[in-house]
Chain A
Amino acid sequence: MKLVIGLAAFVGVLVWLGIGLFIAQGPQPEIIVPAEVITKVGPLNLTNTLITSWVVMALMILFFWTATRSMKLLPTGAQNFAEAVISFLVGQVEEIAGEKNGRRFFAVVATIFLFVICNNWFGLMPFFNAFGKHEDVHHHVFHELTSEHPKDLTLGEDGRYIEGNGFGGWIMDGDGGLIIAKPRTKAIDFEVHEGETPGEAADRYIVFVAKHFAGFEATDEELEHPTAEMVAAAAATLDGTDGHPHLLLGEAHAADDHGAAAAHGLASPALHQTITGIDFEGAKKFGLVIPLFRGAFSDVNNTLALGIVAFLCIEFWGFQALGFGYLKKFFNLNGVNAFVGILELLSEFIRIISFTFRLFGNIFAGEVLILMLTFLMPFLFVDIIYGLELFVGFIQAAVFALLTLVFAVGAVEHHGEDEHHEGHHGEDAGADAHHAHGAAAAH
């Protein structure tokens, strides 16, 4: 009996996973580290992470505004929750920093915590990384190849690329506008190599497009080094048959000026013709969904910004509490302490880096993990990872806030006493004098 139930459960889980794979498999992930730019406003790239953090900020402000609009002594609903959160935070902060310092540091520490945890948890919403703007990757690749000053590639003096780049995208439907990534979308990657000419790259691109969008047979090896005949055959398949992209060719050109772009287009050395474009009308597109929302702290700009804020606040409190005596911790002429001071100074700056990459690494890795698992095993396993990510989101927020708090407490601590103590044991009278001076300055 037990065996039957176990077997049934096992089969059930398998069926469940199978159904998930069939109806809900995510697109093959295209992992892009920098935040995607939705649009540009003056010098500012309006990235999806920035939009997300604005949305989260707006929601947080809205929530707290509603909760505290008419405060009652006997709290109900939103006020109750808001108070519970704030009193939990204030309790923790005061426990670590003491009542006086706790109240001083509270606003910054609490804002860090709330901002990070709200962003992390909000980033787990299902529309994240799925819903967004359609981007035409083909257009981008073609533009890069034809351009004399490409953005993602670096063209050398001799007409060969000094620096290559990979262009990733999906074989997908879509014609601009806002779309949702379809299940089981296949990702493809076109790599422009270092040392090849735009023409050679264009030849390979023709074979690449023919293979993925018109059913042209080519192995990976052939894709990397296609013969002229292959390019011609591939070009022939791109003839505008229904469902195939259509190759737009310009005038034939002489063999001796290959490599130079004639008119507006791309000279193909294999075809001896100028390609003026590829028309994807009626076919699948080489595109990508640029998500409108993406976890704000999966962008290194945002985590670095928060790290800098924490650093600035800590140093500000240090100066506020100790005046210029605060610098004594870093700069002094007391033998080995001088060296320790330099290390201390260095560690202040290293903190920014560790703040930045701890949060960024955790959140970015979490997003990649979720994207990967929605592609590999859409049901069940993803749920477990979502649970884990909820936990990670909380932990990272707590770690960032608490470390800021602990460093702040360290910064406002009086070091005079410590040094006096050492002074008694030290033999250097000069050091003692220095301490006395330092202590006086601190007071």
Chain B
Amino acid sequence: MDKAVEALGLNLPQLIAQVANFFLLLVILRLVAYKPILKMLDDRKQKIAEGLNAAEIARAEAAQAQANIASQLQEGQRQAQEVVAGAQQIAARIQAEAREQANRDREDSLERARAEIQLERDRAVADLRREFADITVSAAEKVIGQSLDRTAHQRIIDEALANSSFSGN
């Protein structure tokens, strides 16, 4: 046993030194390596989890916003179409009214013109009759040389007129 120990170079002080070395290394590495690095790894893990979570939320929010915008756009379009349609309707109505008004105005003026012409003719016919009667009477006075009283006179004229083919109509 002694020989084996000697051949292997075993000695107690070095053994103790090496055990002490190990524990020294353990303590220092714990201080400068394991503690800070494990803490950093855990921190990062947490941060990444939080980040992923936040990203997920942001994505959902963005999708929501996009949907909102799309629906608003659609609404706007619909409203615009409505406005345009309304305007078109109004324009059509105004056009129709204008056309109607114009028609009516034309009819009216035609009617008026017709009435005026009728009136004008009636008056001309009446004038003509009176003139003719006067002429006839004076002519007849001259012819018969006597004057007839007015009443008998008129009756004769009317009879003559009724027999004549000259008429206003």
Contact = CB atoms under 8 A, between A and B. Distances in A.
Do A and B originate from a single complex?
Answer: yes
Interface of A: 33-35, 43-45, 47, 50, 53-54, 57, 60-61, 64-65, 67-68, 71, 73, 75, 82-83, 86-87, 90, 103, 106-108, 110-112, 114-115, 299-302, 304-306, 308-309
Nearest to A53: B21
Interface in B1-42: 6-11, 13-19, 21-26, 28-30, 32-34, 36-38, 40-41
Interface of B: 6-11, 13-19, 21-26, 28-30, 32-34, 36-38, 40-41, 43-44, 47
Nearest to A108: B26
A35 B36 contact: no
A35 to B, nearest CB: 6
23 contacts: A33-B7, A34-B8, A34-B9, A35-B9, A45-B11, A47-B9, A53-B18, A57-B21, A60-B29, A61-B29, A65-B32, A68-B37, A71-B36, A71-B37, A83-B40, A83-B41, A86-B38, A106-B34, A108-B26, A110-B34, A111-B25, A302-B14, A306-B18
A87 B41 contact: yes
A-B complex: 9 closest residue pairs judged by Cβ atoms: A34-B9, A305-B18, A64-B33, A68-B36, A301-B14, A86-B37, A300-B8, A44-B13, A111-B26
A68 B28 CA distance: 12
Main secondary structure of the interface of B (DSSP, over half): helix
A5 B25 CA distance: 54
**Interface residues of A: mostly helix, strand, loop or mixed?**
helix
A53 B14 CA distance: 12
A83 B33 CA distance: 9
A18 B62 CA distance: 73
A254 B40 CA distance: 83
B10 A301 contact: yes
Nearest to A111: B26
Contacts of A106: 34, 38
B10 A300 contact: yes
Contact of B9 (A107, A112, A114, A299): A299
Contacts of B18: 50, 53, 301-302, 305-306
A286 B169 CA distance: 172
Contacts of B32: 61, 64-65, 68
A343 to B, nearest CB: 23
Contacts of A86: 33-34, 37-38, 41
A409 B160 CA distance: 155
B15 A304 contact: yes
Nearest to A306: B22
A111 B10 contact: no
A103 B30 CA distance: 12
A321 B161 CA distance: 153
A106 B30 CA distance: 10
A33 B8 contact: yes
Given A44-B17, A115-B25, A107 B36 contact: no
Nearest to B3: A163
Contacts of A61: 25, 28-29, 32
Contact of A300 (B9, B36, B37, B47): B9
